[in-house]
Structure formats: structure tokens, C-alpha cells
Structure 1
Amino acid sequence: MSQFIESIKVEDRKIFMLDLHQKRVNETFSHFGHENPVDLALIFKNLDHQEEGLYKFKVTYGLDGKFRTQMIPYAISEKADFELVENNSYDYSFKFEDRKEIERMKQLSRAGEIIIVKNNHITDSSYSNIVFKKGKDWFTPKSYLLNGVQRQHLLQTKKIKEAEITLQTLQDYSHFQLINAMNNLDDLLIYPLSKIRNLPKKAASEEF
């Protein structure tokens, strides 16, 4: 039976974007025709987490309603470089625990992180949605693999916009950054497009 995960930000005992995480859990159960018994707020409350600092609250659950939890100290890490990896058949529309195909793609890469390209369109990195900078604005690909909670939140609050981003239009952007439940827009972790090792030649030639 498939297992699913939610990775939720907890900082100084405060839990973030719980409504969006719960919505995704509800939609997962509904899609597979099951009633949802997994109440994230209740699970967190029962943990009685009292530690200060930044943690990843990981809930792994199945459609039978059984779950397990981990509270993992978290530190944001910088990536040395990135590589575009093409995979036209990969589907990650639900947050499955099984990430074997993603790990296979990473192992075949020569870079610290991958950016998955599907049918010529930019999607996500191995663990995050991506936003690209054009002028003063940030854009996220319409062609995501997983509609992450941070992505949804930033769109709802109008801090980012959606755009069709392809291999040919990467040249329109100057920088990018990774966003997920643990990582908001962060001025300290913005990467120039040149951090992508195998940029299409036209985009690479216009870097500065």
C-alpha cells in the first residue's frame, strides 16, 4: 500500500501552514476514495513538542489511517550547482514516500541538485518547487510536479506569479531559488542562472 508524507515547518513550537498541509492530506484520501482519519493538528498537539528552534515535523501515513511521526532538527543547506534532467513520464502529483525515481535521477546527475524537465517545461527540483526572477518579480512554473504548500501560499498572498517556463524561455530570468514547506522566499539563498551546469546555450551566453 502506498505511503504518503507531509513535511511541516515547526519553529519555536509554532506550526506553519497547517491548513494547507491538512488540505493536501484530505485531497489525497479523497482522490483514492477513502475517508480521512488523519488530523495533523491533533497529532501535533499530542506530541507536546516543547523544543525551541527550527524542526521538520514529518508525518508518514497510509490510506488505512495508520501514521508515524518524526520531529527532525532542520538547517537550510546551500547547493553548489544544479543540472537540468529530462524525464517526460515521471508523475509526482501526490506526495509519495517512495522517491526511488527521483533518487535515480539525482544519482545520474553530476550536480548537487537537479531540476526536472518534463516535455520541455521546467518543473521542480528533487525536493522543492522553484521560483525564477525577472526584474523585481518572481515566477513559478505552471508545469510543477507537485503543487507544494509554500507555492500555494506565495501565490495566494501574491508574492509570486505563475508562468510557463520552458528550456527556451529560461533566458528571460536572471536568478532562481527553491521553495518548500521549510523554505520561504529567502534573499540569502538566491542562485544566478549560471549555477545550472547544462543551461541551453542561448541562456548561458546571456549570463552576467
Structure 2
Amino acid sequence: MSQFIESIKIEDQEIYNLDLHQKRVNETFKHFGKENLLDLAKIFKDLEHDEDGLYKLRIVYDLNSKFKTGVIPYAYSTLNQISLVENNTLDYSFKFEDRKIFDMMKNKAKSEEIIIVKNNHITDSSYANLLFLKGKQWFTPNTFLLNGVQRQALLKSKKVKETEINLQNLKEFSHFQMINAMIGFEEIIYPIEIIENFPETSQEIG
């Protein structure tokens, strides 16, 4: 049976975006026609986590509502190597625990991290949604693979806007950042030039 994963930010004993994580879990069960018995708030409460600092709560679960948890100290890290990788068939609409496809793409690209291009459009990195800066406004691609909780929260707060970002207009943006449940808005920002195989056309992606 397929297993799914939620990675939830805990900082100084406070849990973040729990409602959006619960919504995603609910939608996963509903899509596969199963009953959801997972209450993330109760799971967190039962952990009795009383440590200050930044932690990742990792919940792996299946569609029978069986789950296992882990609380892991978390530290931000920056990247030095990012490449564009084309994959026109990739589907990651649900947050599956099995992420071998992403590891395979990174290994093939021989890159520390990748930005996935699907049908000429920018989607996500291997582990995060993306934001791109034009002038003073941040935008997120409307061709995402997974509608992450941080992405949803930033759109709701109107800190970012959604737009079409493809290989042709990518050069119009000056900077980008990766966001996910653990990495918030403007935590780590990269110049667009850090992308090693920045193309002029889609044919230039290997």
C-alpha cells in the first residue's frame, strides 16, 4: 500500500500551518476513497514535544490510518549547484513517501538540486515550491507539481502572486527562492544566474 508523508514545522514548541497539513491529509484520503482517522493536532499533542528550537515533525502514514512519527532537529542549508531538468510525464499530485524519481533525476543531472520543467513550464524543485522575483513582486508558477502548504499560505496572505513561468520568460526574473513547510518566505534567496544550464530555448535542456 502506498505511503504518504507530512513534514511539519515546529519552532519553540509551536506547530505551523497545521490546518493546511490536515486539509492535505483529508484530501488524500478522500481522493482514494478511504476514511481518514488521522488527527494531526492530537498526534502532535501526544508527542509532548517540549524542546525549543527548530524541528521537523515527520509523519508517514498509509490509507489504513496507520502512521509513524519522528521529530528531527532542522537547520537551513544553502545550495551551490542547481540545474533545470525536463520531465514531461512526472505526476506528484500527492505527497508520497517514495521519492526515488527525484533522486534519479538529480543523479542523472549530476546536480545538487534540480528545477523540474514540464511541457516547457517551470514547476517545482525536488523538495520545494518556487518563487521568482520580478521587480519588487514575487511570483509562483501556476504549473506546480504539488500545491504545498507554504505556497498556499503565501498566496492567501497575498505576499506572492501566481503566474505562468516558462522557459521563454524565465529570464525576466532576477532571483528565486525555494519554499516548503520548513523553509519560509525570504529565508533563502538565490540569483537566477545560479541555474547552471539556464536556456534560451527548451531544446537546450539536456
User: Would you call these one fold, judging by a TM-score over 0.5?
Assistant: yes
Find out whether 1:193 has 2:186 as its counterpart: no
Q: One-letter code of the match for 1:91?
A: D
Where does 1:1-208 land on structure 2 (aligned, <5 Å)? 1-186=1-186, 189-201=188-200
The answer on whether the counterparts of 2:132 and 2:175 sit within 8 Å (CA) in structure 1 is yes
2:19 is paired with a residue whose SS is: helix
**How many Å apart are 1:171 and its aligned residue?**
1.0
Q: One-letter code of the match for 2:125?
A: S
2:34 is paired with a residue whose SS is: coil
**How many Å apart are 1:197 and its aligned residue?**
0.3
The answer on whether the counterparts of 1:6 and 1:58 sit within 8 Å (CA) in structure 2 is yes
How far does the alpha carbon of each residue in 1:180-199 deviate from its partner, in whole angstroms, 9 at most, with x for none? 00011125x21111000000
2:178 is paired with a residue whose SS is: strand
The answer on whether the counterparts of 1:150 and 1:179 sit within 8 Å (CA) in structure 2 is yes
Q: What is the CA RMSD across the aligned residues, in angstroms? A: 0.9
Q: Which runs of 4+ in 1 moved over 4 A?
A: none
Distance in 2, matches of 1:160 and 1:79, equals: 23
Q: One-letter code of the match for 1:67?
A: F
Q: TM-score, normalised by structure 2?
A: 0.96
Distance in 1, matches of 2:185 and 2:66, equals: 33
**How many Å apart are 1:109 and its aligned residue?**
1.5
**How many Å apart are 1:40 and its aligned residue?**
0.3
**How many Å apart are 1:111 and its aligned residue?**
2.2
How far does the alpha carbon of each residue in 1:125-146 deviate from its partner, in whole angstroms, 9 at most, with x for none? 0000000000000000000000
1:201 is paired with a residue whose SS is: coil
1:139 is paired with a residue whose SS is: strand
Q: TM-score, normalised by structure 1?
A: 0.95
Unaligned runs of 5+ in 2: 202-206
